[in-house]
Amino acid sequence: MSDILKSSISELKEKLDSKQVKPSELAEAYLGQINKLNSDINAYISVNESLMDEAKALDSKQEKGELSGKLAGIPLGIKDLLCVKGQRNTAGSKILENFVAPYTSTVSQKLLDEGALVLGKCNLDEFAMGSSNETSYYGKVKNPWNYEYVPGGSSGGSAAAVAAGMAAATIGTDTGGSVRQPASFCGIVGVKPTYGRVSRYGIVAFASSLDQAGPMTRTVKDAALMSEVISGHDPYDQTTAQEAVPEWSKSLKQDLKGLKIGLPKEYFTDAITEDTKKVVDNAIEIVKKRGAEVIEVSLPLVKHAVPVYYLVATSEASSNLSRYDGVRYGYRSDFSKKPAESLEEFYSRTRGEGFGSEVKRRIILGTYCLSSGYYDAYYKKACQVRRLIRDEFMQAFNSCDVMLSPVTTSPAFKAGERINDPVQMYSNDIFTTSTNLAGLPGMSVPGGFSQEGLPIGIQLTAAHFQEQKMFDVAYSIEQELQLKEVPNVL
C-alpha cells in the first residue's frame, strides 16, 4: 500500500480505471496513514466520518464501470477554511470550534461533482493568519520531513498531509503565500490561481481582495488537473472571472522554446541562503536547457509589498472577522455565571476568548488602518501602492512570460523560532505577497533540498490568466529533476 500513498492522482486514476484498486481500498489506505501519523503531524483537524460509506458507494459504481469524473475515487484533504456541508469548519479557531457548515463551498462542490472523496479538514493557522502553522487553536502542524521544523503556513496542514501520504492531494488557500510557502517547505506542488479564477464562495474570508484557493499536489500534472476542476465563473462570487478554463493538464509541455523567463532582480538578494540560491540557480539552468530565454526584469516597488500587504490584508480582515460575534453561531463566552452587563461586554468577552493573539493583533492593526484620520495615510495609500505594484508587474510581463524566483529566502525554519517576532515572521512573505497584491497566478514547484535535507521550492509567476505557461515551466523543471525523495514517514 505504501506506493499508493506516494502515487500521484494520475497514477491512482489508472489503478482505479483498471480496477487494480477499489475506491474503498484507497480511502482505507489514506485513512490508515492519517490514523498512524496525525497524532504526530497534526495535519487534520477533523476526519470525515462517513468517508468509508461514501467510498463503498463508489466501489459499486466502479464495478459497474460507472466511475466517472476527473477525480472519481481520489481521496483529498480540504483546508478547514472551506465549508463542506455537514462537516465542522473551524478556520483553526476556537471561535468556530463547534461550527458545522450547513452549506458547501463552490470549490468543494466542484471537487465532489468530479467524484472526489473528502478525507477530512486540514489544519491551518488560525483564520489563515500565519506563516508557520503555529497559530492554530488545534495545535501546530509538524513538517513531515523533520518534525522539528514548521510545515509553513497558513496551509500547513494541507501541505503536510500531501507530503506525508495522508491525502492524494489537498486544497489550500493563498492570501499572501499560504499555498506556495508551505508547498515549498514540504516539497510538494502548490498553486495560487489568478485572482478571480476560483470562487471564494463558502471559504472563510481572510482578505477578500487577495484570497484564492488552490491545489497542493505531488505533481505538476495533478496541480493542473485540480486547478481546472476548481476554476470557473461562479454566480455566487461576483469577483470570479468569465474567462474560459483550459484543460491545462492535457496541454503540458516540457519544451520551453520561445518562452521568456524573467528573473526579478529584487528577488535575488543577499538574504537568500546558499542552499536556496543553489536550488534556484539549478532551476534557471534547467529552463535554459529546455529552450527558454532567461532575462533579468526589475520590479522596484516590490520592496513595499510586505507593508502594503499587511495594511490591505489586515484592514479587510478586521471587517471580515466581525461576523464572529457569538450571536448566531460559533463560540460564545459563558455568561451563566457572570452575565454581560452590556452589549459591548458580550462582544468583548466572546471575541476576547474566542480569538487567538495573532488574529487579535491583525484585527487591531486593520481596525486602526481603517479608522477615520488614519484611513488616508494607511489603507488608502496602501491601495494606491498596490495598484502601482500591479502596473509594474503588467509592465514586466510585456518583456517576459513567466517569472522565476525563490519562494522564500530559506527552507523551513524551526518551530518556535519566529513565533514571538511578528516582523521577522511577516518578512517571510517577502517574495510571495506581491503576487496576491497584483492578482497574478503563482506556484511553487519542488526544486531540491538543503543540506539538512529540507525541501526547497521554486516560485513561478505568470501574467493574469496565463496559468498554462506557468504550468509548462514547472512541468519542465519537474521532469528534468525527477526528484524521488520522500519523507521517512512514508
Partner 1 sequence: MSYSDWEVVIGLEIHAQLKTDSKMFSEDSTQFGGGDNKNTSPVSFGLPGALPVTNEKAVEMSVKTGLALNCSIREKSVFARKNYFYPDLPKGYQISQYDEPICEEGYIDILLDGEKKRIGIERAHMEEDAGKSTHHGEYTLINLNRAGVPLLEIVSKPDMRSAKEAAQYARSVRSILRYIDICDGNLEEGSMRCDCNISVRKPGEPLGTKVELKNINSFRFVEKAIEYEAQRQVDLKEAGEEIHQETRLYDSTKNQTFSMRKKENAHDYRYFPDPDLLPVIVEQSWIENIKNNLPELPLKKAERFQQEYGLPEYDAFVLTTEREMAEYFETTAKACGNAKSASNWIMVELLRRLNDADQSIEDSPIKADMLAKLIQLIDNKTISGKIAKTVFQDMYDSGKDPEAIVKEKGLTQITDTSAIEKMIDEIIAANPGQVEQYKSGKNKLFGFFVGQVMKASKGQANPEMVNQILKSKLDS
Residues that bind partner 1 (CB under 8 A): 82-83, 89, 91, 96, 99, 101-103, 105, 200-205, 207-209, 235-239, 315-316, 318-319, 321-325, 327-329, 343, 347, 367, 370-372, 375, 379
Minimum gap (Å) between residue 46 Cβ and partner 1: 15
Q: Which of these is catalytic: 108, 131, 136, 154? A: 154
Pairing of strands 169-174, 75-79: parallel
Judged by beta carbon, residue 131 or residue 315, the one nearer partner 1 is: 315
How much of the chain is helix, strand and coil, in % rounded to 5?
40, 15, 45
* Residue 159 · residue 172 · CB < 8 Å: yes
| Of residues 61 and 380, the one with the C-beta less far from partner 1 | 380
Q: What does the DSSP assignment read for 165-198? A: TS-SEEEEEESSSTTHHHHHHHTSEEEEPPTTTB
Q: Residue 12's closest CA among 181, 203, 201, 217?
A: 217
Q: How far apart are the first and last CA of the chain?
A: 11
Active site residue 8: no
Q: Least distance to partner 1 from the beta carbon of 35, Å?
A: 28
Is 68 a known active-site residue?
no
Task: Give the DSSP letter of residue 266.
Answer: G
| CA 427/CA 434 separation, integer angstroms | 12
- Taking the least distance from each CB to partner 1, the nearer of 225 and 321 is 321
Residue 68 or 372 having the CB closest to partner 1:
372
Considering only CA atoms, give the Rg of the chain: 21
Q: Which residues pair with 388 in a beta bridge?
A: none
Contacts of 152 by beta carbon, 8 Å cutoff, 6+ apart: 131, 132, 133, 143, 159, 181, 182, 183, 184, 185, 186, 412
Nearest residue (CB) to partner 1, 149 versus 201: 201
Among 381, 371, 322, 318, smallest CA distance to 347 is for 322
CB of 173 vs partner 1, minimal distance in Å: 11
Task: Report the nearest approach of partner 1 to the CB of residue 154 (Å).
Answer: 15
Minimum distance of partner 1 from residue 365's CB (angstroms): 13
Which is catalytic among the residues 13, 22, 70, 79?
Answer: 79
Residue among 142, 135, 147, 136 at smallest CA distance from 160: 142
Give the separation between CA 227 and CA 305, rounded to whole angstroms: 26
Q: How far is the CB of 237 from partner 1 (least distance, A)?
A: 5
Q: Which is nearer to partner 1, 208 or 298 (CB)?
A: 208
User: Which residue from 47, 69, 59, 173 is spatially nearest to 119, judged by alpha carbons?
Assistant: 47
Cell of 88: 465542522
State the nearest-atom distance from the C-beta of 299 to partner 1, in Å.
24
* Catalytic residue, candidates 158, 178, 405, 450: 178
Rounded Cα distance between 188 and 447, Å, is 10
- Shortest reach from residue 368's CB to partner 1, in Å: 10
Q: Residue 72 in 3-state DSSP?
A: coil
DSSP 89-123: --TT-GGGTTPBPSS--HHHHHHHHTT-EEEEEE-
Is 79 catalytic? The answer is yes
Q: Closest CB to partner 1 among 268 and 368?
A: 368
Q: Active-site residue numbers?
A: 79, 154, 178
